[in-house]
Structure 1
Amino acid sequence: MNPIPELTAFLKQLRLSGILDSLDLRNRQAIEGKLAYTEFLSILIGDEVARRDQKKVAMRLRRANFRGEKTIEAFDFDRLPNLNRSLIQDLATGRYLSEKVAILIAGPCGTGKSHLAQALGHCAVRQGHDVVFTMQTQLVGSLHAARAIGSFERRFQQLARVPLLVIDDFGLKPLRPPHDEDFHDLVAERYERASTIVTSNLDYDEWGDAFPANRMLGAATLDRLRHGAYRVVLDGESYRAPKPSPDSTRAPARSPAAAKAR
């Protein structure tokens, strides 16, 4: 008697149908290895746990809205010799998440700020945390749109409660009312409750320029972000530098007059 059809129905009823993907393989391994029933069952359950973990990671990555596969393994540390690699590796462990502090990343365009921020976000996802990645303009824009349709509080709380919020390109565009107030309220709500990663092209002492309409509000916002925060400065050449023209290596052409003179 073949027990597979009945077993399949039971597994589906228990929402364990993923076991079917490896059942045949594990059954052959159990027979060939003469495994005890408990060993066979442990391997099958282990497969199901791993499958569910992978599914959770994939779901968190989709919700995070990262822009491509920007991982810590793919980050080019050699291009930034002055970067404190030990600090980055320590941050990748996610210790700052339990500390509920921010990571502030500053540096010129093209030095890898967005990559590093998303890479740390990827690490957090793999460690079981929910993450949201957004640009400053998208962040305040989404809150503005939510206010227009009466769902501001819901959207605000979603952003306030996520364990890790990554805000890219802070200060690229100035924050004006009511966006500056929304940004401040979000930072204040997350203060000492959840971690935030912020990247900016501005030097740290220029971050206040992002609040041209209300410097006092900006000071209060940045005071909360900076408290206990880890600061990372990326200083190097832009990886977006244009490639040299194919003709740039050729010897310069002689003028007709010079050629005639020869």
Structure 2
Amino acid sequence: MELTEMMTQLRLKGFIQAYELQQKMPEIDDLSFEERLRILLEHESLYREDRQLCLLLKKAKLRYPGACIEDIRYRNGRNITKQMMLELGKNDWVRKHRNIIITGASGVGKTYIACALGNSACRNGIKSLYVRLPRLLQELKIARTDGTYVKVLTQLSRVNVLIVDDWGLDTLNDHERKDFLEVMEDRYSVRSTIIATQIPVDKWHDIIGDHTIADAICDRLVHNAEHLQLTGDSLRKEKEQSSVNMKNE
């Protein structure tokens, strides 16, 4: 059996790439066997890390998959600093099973920052998932009727970082608030959740609708959360205005 065929059977794709590259390098003969082997193994390790990252990002379904903390605009008036975000980028809050609540008006960059944190988690091998609350509630409603409700809840409970965007666009009905409580109950103290919303935390009881369930949800989400309260003008409007100005030049 050929050496390349053996490596293929062992699924050493990174190893094969490095091996084929070495075959084209005359100077490789100057290296010892151990040095050449180390290069091959390092290439295989990097290949697997890159493949795992691609898989995590694909499964995360981030609204902005390319969002990263380094590209966030840290200007005056946004109420966030680069130091603050870099600290969150270390993912200690995930390891401690804490949450992050991002509030602010429409267009101030809540979703981008949430996705940047999700991207950072994926780059550290942490399983993440982005979902808009209306879509999540719709999926849970369907799961109730087709018998997959427990399965869907179990899948959500296994996600290390769950990003819930557009929280509070509409008042929750009885089934919706109970479903969301089930999701949060499964995650409490064992997983982390990011909430992106226009609704200030002190208005959440009105959105949830039932005082008792609202207390239960807030107890599981708010009391162990980092709070990013974004301020400033809409970045979306600025981008649109910039495009208009460029067309008029």
Letter of the aligned partner of 1:218 in structure 2? A
Residue segments in structure 2 that go unaligned for 5+ positions in a row: none
* 2:152 maps to 1:155: yes
The equivalent residue for 1:145 is: 142
CA apart distance, 1:85: 3.0
The equivalent residue for 2:183 is: 186
Larger relative helix fraction: 2
CA 1:30–1:53 in structure 2 vs 1: closer, same or farther (change >3 Å)? farther
The equivalent residue for 2:165 is: 168
- CA distance in structure 1 between the aligned counterparts of 2:154 and 2:232, rounded to whole angstroms: 37
Larger Rg: 1
- TM-score normalized with structure 1 length: 0.87
Residue segments in structure 1 that go unaligned for 5+ positions in a row: 250-262
Between 116-125 and 142-151, report the one with greater CA deviation: 142-151
1:130-158 per-position Cα deviation (integer Å, ceiling 9, x unaligned): 10100111111111111111111111111
How big is the alpha-carbon RMSD for the aligned residues of Structure 1 and Structure 2?
A: 2.1
Letter of the aligned partner of 1:26 in structure 2? Q
CA apart distance, 1:24: 2.7
Decide whether the 8 Å contact of 1:72 with 1:119 is kept in 2.
Answer: yes
CA apart distance, 1:174: 1.6
* 2:70 maps to 1:73: yes
Q: Map residues 101-140 of structure 1 onto 2, 5 A cutoff.
A: 101-140=98-137
The equivalent residue for 1:83 is: 80
Decide whether the 8 Å contact of 1:30 with 1:40 is kept in 2.
Answer: no
CA 1:80–1:93 in structure 2 vs 1: closer, same or farther (change >3 Å)? farther
Partner secondary structure for residue 70 of structure 2:
coil
Between 7-16 and 78-87, report the one with greater CA deviation: 78-87
- CA distance in structure 2 between the aligned counterparts of 1:178 and 1:111, rounded to whole angstroms: 31
CA 1:57–1:117 in structure 2 vs 1: closer, same or farther (change >3 Å)? same
Decide whether the 8 Å contact of 1:8 with 1:17 is kept in 2.
Answer: no
Counting matched residue pairs gives 244
The equivalent residue for 1:23 is: 19
CA apart distance, 1:44: 0.7
Between 199-208 and 104-113, report the one with greater CA deviation: 199-208
- TM-score normalized with structure 2 length: 0.91
